Amino acid sequence: MVMKDRNTGSTRFGRAEAVFRKHGGMLRTSQVLSEGIHPDTLYTMRDSGILVKVSRGVYRLADSSPLGNPDLVTVSIRIPAGVICLISALSFHELTTQIPHEVHVALPRGAEEPRLDYPPVRTYRFSGEAFMEGVEIHELDGVGVRIYSPEKTLADCFKFRNRIGLDTAVEAIRAYRNRGDVRVNDIMRCSSICRVEKIIRPYLEAVL
């Protein structure tokens, strides 16, 4: 089936720009096409500098304000089913001194492994309630980014302590305590879902 764009010249570019701005200035190719924008329009806008390529299949208006969270936003757009987790979630919530060199992303079991040229990602497989629990949506640069809550992230850190390090998980609990808004019941609920309730309890009692 051949797609037809009835608009020409600046009119079709103007309509396409309006679509981008409606979505925060950045879209996946599939989203652009679903909005009725012809592929030729997209690629002409790219070649003329109206759009810039952020990552494979992701484009952004060149005159948009600089992204404050480019890696998280790009991953959120490229992997809409994923949730920012572990070190990346700790960093977002200011619960770690580590600077993540990869974006840590939770995926439901059975989901296809994402292929991104940039930024680098590290994926973790979650199942059932452990994947769904504690998901928050934070608007970053006009894009709704799915990130696990601080309490769910603490539970996840103990679940994956062999991969991220127990010291990282303990540091996160201390940082969480120092924030002042301590929700022990939420941590224990998430820990029960992640099946680390008995493991995390002694650390909570010692730190909190």
Residues 22, 97, single domain; the answer is no
39 lies in a domain?
A: yes
Q: Which residues contact 124 (CB under 8 A, 6 or more apart)?
A: 85, 86, 104, 105, 106, 107, 160, 163
Please tell me whether residues 85 and 42 are part of one structural domain.
Answer: no
pLDDT in tens, 126-151: 999 999 999 999 998 888 999 999 99
Helix (H) or strand (E) run with residue 138 in it: strand 135-140
In a domain, 132, yes or no: yes
Residues 31, 35, 37, 42, Cα dihedral to 10°: -30
Report if residue 4 sits inside a domain.
no
Report the CATH number at residue 74.
3.30.460
Report pTM.
Answer: 0.77
Tell me how far the alpha carbon of residue 160 is from its chain's centroid: 19
Q: What is the pLDDT of residue 10?
A: 64
H runs (alpha helix) in 28-149: 29-34, 39-47, 70-78, 86-92, 129-132
Distance in angstroms (rounded) separating the CA atoms of residues 64 and 24: 9
Do the Cβ atoms of 105 and 120 come closer than 8 Å?
no
- pLDDT digit string (tens) for 190-199? 999 999 999 9
57 and 80 co-located in one domain:
no
Asked if residue 24 has pLDDT above 80, the reply is: no
Strands 103-108 and 121-126 turn out to be parallel
110 or 132: which leads in pLDDT: 132
Would you say residue 182 lies in a domain?
yes
Q: Per-residue pLDDT for 3 more than 50?
A: no
Cα–Cα dist 26/58, whole Å: 7
- Shared-domain flag, residues 13 and 32: yes
On whether both 49 and 94 belong to a single domain, the answer is: no
Q: How many domains would you assign to the chain? A: 2
